[in-house]
A and B are shown apart, each in its own frame.
Chain A
Amino acid sequence: MAVFRRIANLFRRTRVDREIDAELQAHIALRTDDNLAAGMSPAEARRDALLRFGNPTATRERVAAADTSLAFAGFWRDVRFALRQLRRSPGFAITAILALALGIGPNVAIFSIIWATFLAPLPYPHSDQLVVIWTHYKGEREGTRADDYAQYAAQSRSFQRLDIESWRVLHLTNPDHSEDDAGGVQVTPGFMTKTMGVPMALGRDFLPDEGTPGKDHEAIITHRIWQERFHADPEIVGKSILIHDEPYMVVGVIQAGASDRTGVPFMTPLILPPGVHTDHFGNVIGRLKPGVTLAQAQAEISVIDRRLASQRNAGNDASSWSVSVEQLKNDWLDHKLERNLWLLLTAVGLVLLIACANVANLLLARGASRKQELAVRSALGATRGQIFVQLLTESITLALLGGVIGIAMGWGIMKLSMALLPLAKSTAEAEVGLNISVLCFALGITLLAGILFGCAPGWQASRLNLSDTLKQGSRAVGGRHRTSGQSILVTVEVALAMVLLAGAGMALHSFWNLSHIDLGFTADRVLTASLRPRPTGPQGGKPTFPPPEQIVVQHHQLLDRLRAVPGVSDAALATGIPLHGYDTFPFAVAGQPINTAHPPVADFEAVTPSYFGTFGIHLARGRFFSESDTIGTLPVIMVNETFVRRYLANTDPLTQRLLLPQISSGNIDAAHTAEFQIVGVFHDVLDNEHLTGDVQPEMYISLWQAGWPYVSFAVRTGVDPVAVTGGVRGAIAVAAPGMVINHLEMMQEVVDEQRTGDRFGMVLFGGFAAVALLLAAVGIYGVMAFAVAQRTHEIGLRMALGARRREVVALMVRGGMRLALLGIGVGLAGAYGLGRLMHTTLYGVQSADVGSLAAVATVLFLVAVLACWLPARRSAAIDPMQALRNE
């Protein structure tokens, strides 16, 4: 309450001044009275009183100053005092501030990413009103059917607006008619400006009647694509752009900001009137009316959905479906990435703890030499509380200095990691940066750190025994109990560093495993793309295809063209390429009983004979396809090793025949089966979309025997694949004018992209672990140096009594190593815990990863030995006579 009184005094300074004046005048009057009584003349009496008093104005100022200085200046005085103390020992100050900056920087960096990714409110006006309606099937989140959306929109009262963002992705068409990668979406008119509340930078949003068939060839584009692709053309509105090779008129450019970070470059309009059936699915996004709660909206939508379900007549399965109204938030991220980020935050938290332990240690060492100063102060009337507050102020001053540098460092780390290690194409709509929340977080952890490590010297000071300290003079007495606090802190530091190093070791091990996965093919210098027939005429009609023989002829011509492109060494066509997913196609083994209810399934693709050479796939048994396996010759098939293991375990696969539905010209005729002779077994190729999944059983037939119209192509190049893309596009344009190139990509990039998240985790984890190692080493070094300095006398005595220099060094090193080993031991237990946490994000690494644990423990041990040996070496340089004479 005293604080409030002082602060209040600040505002009524004049009143306080007047009161002080009155009091001082009273004092002078009382003195004058006494002087008069003692027999002085009135003038003399007053003069004496005034003289004794000194300058009353100055005194008044000082009385008033006692006031304000107690409130604020008291703190500033402590801060100034702390700064002076720091300037007096720059080595200590720089080490401590750097250690703190190293601890705080990574926290700021990781938190700024986490804040933007998971915690920040979405950057839209009143984003708390934005909701998503999810359809759930057996607990799994699904898109909502457009028909249901139309009913929700028509019947609900909870929403200002309800929009749908269709999952049907549209692609821009490049000038050479190939398809651009970035996909746009179809949305109901008003979604951007009215529901999301993002205004247009140019032009307008869709009109309410735009989006019906025949009136849906308009587009709004993001600011980013406007700049990057259309060179910020100020006249873009009204111009036509090609989407799926059809002209769409640009009606608006969305304001720069959040929509640039969603990865959706453009939108086209879509209107879904209730009662008109379409096969769209999508995200239903709405804005609640003010005052309507999520629960109310949920209740209303559930009622509508139950009514719809009874009309839909979904039958037995109805109970598997449900709907939920949820806050719109950034929860579309890969779980692994999400987990990685939180793990990283834990890791940097540990780094900060190590930094705190480090600084606490430095303060303890310094506190020993300040004991006398503190003893004198407390003897002169400073209370324990006052000394504690002063020491805490010093710690917090240190922390703030470290925090400022740490924030700058964190900004650098954040920018660097965002630039070098893109987590994903779009992690969050909120911008990653140093905003108010991040700064508050930084200030919070800085103060917390200051209080945390500030307790150490405070605790030390509170144990100060006054008369002992004053009696002893400056000589510090050795002995283990004097440094027990420091020993504990060093052990903690080493243990925490061990945990972090173990995490980094496991991340590294996992990444090494990922980099050495047997893909089954050589990704280097392979360029792939899929071909899609150019849409002709009205959409939705069943396409017709020429007979298979004709398709084969066209494919031969296409392949010849691709092979003729300069730089291309081999080319192949196939219905699917590795790492792009697989299907499950039913088959039967000839001569074995047919299981109609649960037939065996395998991935089924048709490939040209050159496929194996182009991808560098090895043969395990039998033979590859040959050019002479054609329509009319014996139908042949190849299977992979997994297929053999799973379905043909006890037979010679080369003697078996497989029964498959008849296929020709884009049709699969399940009524008729064809018999294929297995002629070869190839080495397993990763066909799923993740590097880490199991290999599926696979069956390949020759494309020359199938004549399938939809294909992808792959070319192996002798040069950098980027150099041949122009030639390849040209070859396709000539040989397959009816085809659009889709997803032209380097196979190596596809593989690398799979490892992006893991690389991000590994590099950052490794970097933070290195910081931890450094801090721990500095901590050990500091304690050892202090111990050597304190035990100079003892060492001198030992040496005078005949101890050899080497023995003395060994003695000192042993003391340090005991702490390091204890720390490593404790850290191993923590590492096991971390391993369990990290387990799901790692590949091929046990939660107790003995190999990497041993490796990092060894590294830590060696660093600890070095950090002990360097200061211990100094003890050998002690001159016994000198050391003893110091007494």
Chain B
Amino acid sequence: MAKNDLPKNELQGTLDLLVFKTLAHAGSLHGYGIVQHIQRASSELLRVEEGSLYPALHRMEQNGWIASEWALTETNRKAKYYKLTAAGRRQLQQAEESFDQLVKGVRAVLRYA
């Protein structure tokens, strides 16, 4: 399990960013909604694994970046809704900046290497 730590950590940054962005856009959303939104917004390019999403949501909630409450869906099912906290909003900004840097870096490498 130790061997898997590193890549998972590195991917978390990206998944976190996607979740942040989704919640920033949609306000309050349950896990299933987040999966759907990312899929739709990325024109079906990105598919979030449920197996990674829920641990990520839980971790983000524990970090105080998102808050949750149980509520009824339009289809009258009970689901856990997430929304961004103030700390989460700050975190979103940072994550966006680092991601931009990554993209710039990768692009630079792609261009010159």
Residues of A within 8 A of B (CB): 1-2, 5-6, 9, 19-20, 22-24, 26-27, 29-31, 33, 52-54, 58-59, 62-67, 70, 77, 80-81, 84, 375-383, 466-467, 470-471
Asked whether B30 lies within 8 Å of A6 as measured between CB atoms, the reply is: no
Beta-carbon nearest neighbor of B107 in chain A? A467
Q: Cβ of B78 and Cβ of A66 under 8 Å apart?
A: no
Q: List 15 A-B contacts (CB under 8 A).
A: A1-B64, A5-B62, A23-B80, A26-B30, A26-B31, A33-B77, A66-B56, A67-B62, A70-B59, A375-B105, A379-B101, A381-B12, A382-B13, A467-B104, A471-B112
The reply to whether A26 and B55 form a contact with Cβ atoms under 8 Å apart is no
CA of A383 to CA of B90 in the docked complex: distance in angstroms? Answer: 11
Contact between chains at B58 and A67 (CB < 8 Å):
yes
Taking a contact as CB atoms under 8 Å apart, the answer to whether B99 and A381 are in contact is: yes
Binding site for A on B (CB under 8 A): 2, 5, 9-14, 16-17, 30-32, 49-51, 54-59, 62-64, 73, 75, 77-80, 91, 94-95, 98-99, 101-102, 104-106, 108-109, 112
Q: What is the CB-to-nearest-CB distance from A590 to chain B, in angstroms, rounded to a whole number?
A: 99
The docked-state distance in angstroms from the alpha carbon of A54 to that of B50 is 8
Find the B residue at minimum CB distance from A65.
B55
**Contacting residues, chain B, for A24 (C-beta < 8 A):** 54
- A377 with B9, Cβ < 8 A, contacts A26-B30, A30-B30, A66-B62 known: yes
Q: Which residues of chain B are within 8 angstroms of A67 by Cβ–Cβ distance?
A: 58-59, 62
Instruction: Decide yes or no: A466 and B64 within 8 Å by CB, A22-B78, A381-B13, A382-B9 being known contacts.
Output: no
Tell whether, in the assembled complex, residue B63 and residue A70 are in contact, meaning their CB atoms are under 8 Å apart.
Answer: yes
Residue in contact with B106 in the complex, picked from A9, A29, A470, CB distance below 8 Å: A470
Complex A-B, nearest 3 residue pairs according to Cβ-Cβ distance, in ascending order = A381-B13, A470-B105, A379-B102
Contact of A29 with B9 in the complex, beta carbons under 8 Å = no
Would you call B50 and A380 a contact (CB within 8 A)?
A: no
CB pair B54 A379 closer than 8 Å: no
Taking a contact as CB atoms under 8 Å apart, the answer to whether B9 and A380 are in contact is yes
| A5: nearest chain-B partner, CB-CB | B62
Question: Contacts of A22 on B, CB cut-off 8 Å?
Answer: 78, 80
Interface centre among A52, A66, A380 (most CB of B within 10 A): A380
A598 CA to B98 CA, complexed, in Å:
90
Alpha-carbon separation in the docked complex, A466 to B63 (Å): 25
Minimal beta-carbon separation of B86 from chain A (angstroms):
14
The minimal Cβ–Cβ distance linking B38 to chain A, given in whole angstroms, is 14
Q: Are A466 and B102 in contact (CB under 8 A)?
A: yes
Residues of A within 8 A of B102 (CB): 379-380, 466, 470
- Measured in the bound complex, the distance between the Cα atoms of B9 and A378 in whole Å is 10
Q: Which one of A6, A29, A381 has the greatest number of beta carbons of chain B within 10 Å?
A: A381
Residues of A within 8 A of B75 (CB): 30, 33
Question: In the complex the two chains form, is A54's CB within 8 Å of B51's CB?
Answer: yes
A30 touches B32 (CB 8 A): yes
Report whether A20 and B30 are in contact in the complex, using a CB–CB cutoff of 8 Å: no
Please indicate the chain B residues that have their CB under 8 angstroms from the CB of A27 in the complex.
30-32, 50, 54, 79
Smallest beta-carbon distance A384→chain B, Å: 8
Contact status A466-B98, CB under 8 Å: yes
Contact call A23/B54, Cβ cutoff below 8 A: yes
Question: From residue A72, how far is it (CB to closest CB) to chain B in Å?
Answer: 13
Contact B98 A378 (CB under 8 A): yes
Q: Assuming A26-B32, A26-B79, A54-B50, is B62 touching A381 (CB within 8 A)?
A: no
Q: How far is the CB of A766 from chain B (nearest CB, A)?
A: 46
What is the CB-to-nearest-CB distance from B91 to chain A, in angstroms, rounded to a whole number? 8
- Cα distance A470–B107 in the bound complex, in angstroms: 10
- Given A380-B11, A381-B98, A382-B13: A6 in contact with B62 (beta carbons within 8 A): yes
Instruction: Say whether B31 contacts A379, CB under 8 Å.
Output: no
Cα distance A70–B64 in the bound complex, in angstroms: 12
Given contacts A70-B62, A381-B17, contact A63 B10 (CB under 8 A): no
Alpha-carbon distance between A70 and B112 when the two chains are bound, in angstroms: 40
Known A466-B101, A470-B109: A381·B14 in contact at CB below 8 Å: yes
Question: How far does the alpha carbon of A77 sit from the alpha carbon of B32 in the complex, in Å?
Answer: 30
A23-B79, A66-B56 are known; give 15 further A-B pairs, CB within 8 A: A2-B64, A23-B31, A26-B32, A27-B32, A30-B75, A62-B51, A62-B54, A64-B58, A66-B59, A84-B2, A380-B9, A381-B12, A381-B95, A467-B104, A471-B108
Complex interface: chain A residues within 8 A of B79 (CB): 23, 26-27, 30
Chain A at the B interface: mostly helix, strand, loop or mixed? helix
B95: chain A residues within 8 A (beta carbon)? 381
Asked whether B63 lies within 8 Å of A380 as measured between CB atoms, the reply is: no
Contact A53-B50, Cβ < 8 Å, known A2-B62, A379-B105, A471-B108: yes
In whole Å, how far is B60's beta carbon from the nearest beta carbon of chain A? 9
Q: CA A411 – CA B94 in complex, angstroms?
A: 49
Bound complex: CA A254 to CA B106 (Å): 80
- Which residues of the partner chain B approach A64 to less than 8 Å between Cβ atoms? 58
Q: How distant is the Cα of A378 from the Cα of B2 in the complex, in angstroms?
A: 20
Q: Enumerate chain A residues within 8 angstroms of B32, measured Cβ to Cβ.
A: 26-27, 30-31
Write out the residue numbers on chain A whose beta carbons fall within 8 Å of the beta carbon of B11.
Answer: 380
Cα of A380 to Cα of B50 in the assembled complex, Å:
20
> How near does chain B come to A661, taking the closest CB pair, in angstroms?
93
Q: Is A380 a contact partner of B13 (Cβ separation < 8 A)?
A: yes
Taken together as a complex, chains A and B put the C-alpha atoms of A29 and B64 apart, in Å, by: 27
A467 touches B64 (CB 8 A): no
The answer to whether B12 touches A380 (Cβ under 8 A) is: yes
Task: Establish whether residues B51 and A467, one from each chain, have CB atoms under 8 Å apart when the complex forms.
Answer: no
| Cβ-neighbour of A59 out of B16, B50, B99 (below 8 A) | B50
CB distance from A470 to the nearest CB of B (A): 3
Tell me how far the C-beta of A6 lies from the nearest C-beta in chain B, rounded to whole angstroms: 6
Query: Which residues of the other chain, A, contact B101 by a CB distance below 8 angstroms?
Result: 378-379, 466-467
A64 to B57, CA, bound (A): 11
Q: How far is the CA of A80 from the CA of B54 in the complex (A)?
A: 25
- Of B58, B80, B94, B112, which contacts A66 at CB under 8 A? B58
Q: Provide the residues of chain A in CB contact with B10, threshold 8 Å.
A: 376-377, 380-382
Q: How far is the CB of A487 from chain B (nearest CB, A)?
A: 29
Interface contact B51-A58, CB-CB below 8 Å = yes
- The answer to whether A63 and B55 have CB atoms under 8 Å apart is yes
CA distance A375 to B12 in the complex (A): 15
Residues of B within 8 A of A70 (CB): 59, 62-63
What residues of chain B lie closer than 8 Å to A63, measured between beta carbons?
Answer: 54-55, 57-58
Contact status B54-A20, CB under 8 Å: yes
For B7, the closest partner residue in chain A by CB is A380
A379 x B98 contact (CB < 8 A)? yes
A residues near B12, Cβ cutoff 8 Å = 380-381
Taken together as a complex, chains A and B put the C-alpha atoms of A54 and B55 apart, in Å, by 14
Task: Please measure, in the bound complex, the distance between the C-alpha atom of A70 and the C-alpha atom of B9, giving whole angstroms.
Answer: 12
Distance from A121 Cβ to chain B, minimum over Cβ atoms (Å): 44
CA distance A54 to B57 in the complex (A): 17
Contact at B77–A29, with CB atoms within 8 Å?
Answer: yes
What is the CA–CA distance of A205 and B75 in the complex, to the nearest angstrom? 89
Min C-beta distance of A58 to chain B, whole Å: 7
* Residue numbers in A under 8 Å from B73 (CB-CB): 30
Centre residue among B51, B58, B94, B99 by max chain A CB count within 10 A: B58
Given that A27-B31, A54-B50 are contacting pairs, would A471 and B80 also be in contact in the complex, using a CB cutoff of 8 Å?
no
Complex CA gap A151/B38 in Å reads 92
How far apart are B59's CB and chain A's nearest CB, in angstroms?
4
The residue in A26, A59, A377, A379 that gathers the most chain B C-beta atoms within 10 A of its C-beta is A379
B68 to chain A, nearest CB (A): 9
In the complex, what's the smallest C-beta–C-beta distance from B22 to chain A, in angstroms? 15
Does the CB pair A30–B62 fall under 8 Å? no
A26 cross-chain contacts in B, Cβ below 8 A: 30-32, 77-80
CA distance A380 to B64 in the complex (A): 20
